Structure 1
Amino acid sequence: MTTNLTPPMWRQHVLRVLFLLILVGLGPDHWVEVFAPGKVPSPISGVTISFYAAFSFLCLLGIRHPLKFIPLLLIQLVYKSAWIIGTYLPAKSAGLLDENYESWFWSMAPGIVIDLFIIPWGYVYREYLKDFFVWKKAAV
C-alpha cells in the first residue's frame, strides 16, 4: 500500500497565504528602499533592506511553488528565534528593554508561532531531515 507523502492541498494553500502575507508585509517598503532610497543607508541597514527585499521576492515564487520554498519559512523561523534568543533575552536580563526591543519582539514572536503551526513538519522531516546523515555514493 502506497501513501501520498505530499501535504494535502489545503495545507499547500495555507502555505501560499503565508507567502502572500510575507510578500505584502515586506515587499513594498523594502523594494522602495532598494530603488528609491530616501537617504544612503548604512552598510548594515543596506544588507537588511536587501535581504528583506530578496526574501519578499522569493516569497512571490513560494506562492507558485509552496513546497519547494519551505526552506524560506525555515530561514524565517530560525532567524526570528535566533533574534529572540541572542538579542531580546540578553537585553531583557540586562534590564535594557525599551520600546524598540518590545516592538521588535512583537514582530518576531507571532512569526515564530505561525511558522511552527503552518510548516508541514512531516514533509520537512521526510524531504530534508530523514536521510540527512545518509551518504549515497555518486553514480559514475
Structure 2
Amino acid sequence: MPEVSTVRLYLLRLVYLIISCGLAVVVWPGVLHHAQPWTLSTGVVRCMLTAFSLLCILGLRYPLQMLPVLMWELMWKVIWMLAIALPAWRSGQIDEATISTLYECAGVIIIPLAMPWRYVYARYLQQPGDRWKPLRA
C-alpha cells in the first residue's frame, strides 16, 4: 500500500472539515428546527446530507478509512453535472434551480485535488476483495 503523506492527510482533513462545517451551517438547522412538514424528497435529501456531514466528521479522525464517502460525493456530483446540468445547458434550457445546484456542486473540485489517487488505486482496485464464501473448518 503506498504511503500517504502527512500533507495529503491534512488536505483530506480540510476537505472533511469544509464539508461538515458547511453542511452544519446550511442543513443542520433545518433538520433540527423545521416548522413545516417537508416533501418526501426534501426530507430524504436533508437527512442524507446530515448523515453525510456526520460521516465527514469521522473523516477528520480517519481520513483514509472514510475515503469512500468522498468518492461517493465526487461521483454523484460529476454524474449529476454530466447527466442533468450539461444537457440542459447545451440545449439552452437550463433554469435558475439547475444553475443554483450547479454552483453548489462546483465545490466538488476540491475532492480530486486532495484525493490520494495512488492509494485509492492500490486500496480499491489492486488489493484483492474480501472473500465471498465462508472459511472451511
TM range, smaller chain: 0.7 to 0.9
Report the equivalent of 1:16.
13
Residue 49 (structure 1) shift: 0.2
Q: TM-score, normalised on structure 2?
A: 0.88
Report the equivalent of 1:114.
110
Which of 86, 96, 100 aligns to 1:99? It is 96
Please provide the CA RMSD for this pair: 2.1
Residue 91 (structure 1) shift: 1.4
Residue 32 (structure 1) shift: 1.9
Distance 2:134 2:8 in 1: 34
Gaps of 5+ in 1: none
Residue 138 (structure 1) shift: 4.9
Report which structure shows greater RCO (CA 8 Å, sep ≥6).
Answer: 2
1:56 equivalent to 2:53? Answer yes
Residue 99 (structure 1) shift: 2.8
Residue 121 (structure 1) shift: 0.7
Pick closer, same or farther for the CA change 1:134–1:16 going to 2, 3 Å: closer
Superposition map of 1:2-81 within 5 A: 5-81=2-78
Q: Percent identity, please.
A: 32
Q: TM-score, normalised on structure 1?
A: 0.86
Aligned residues: 136
Gaps of 5+ in 2: none
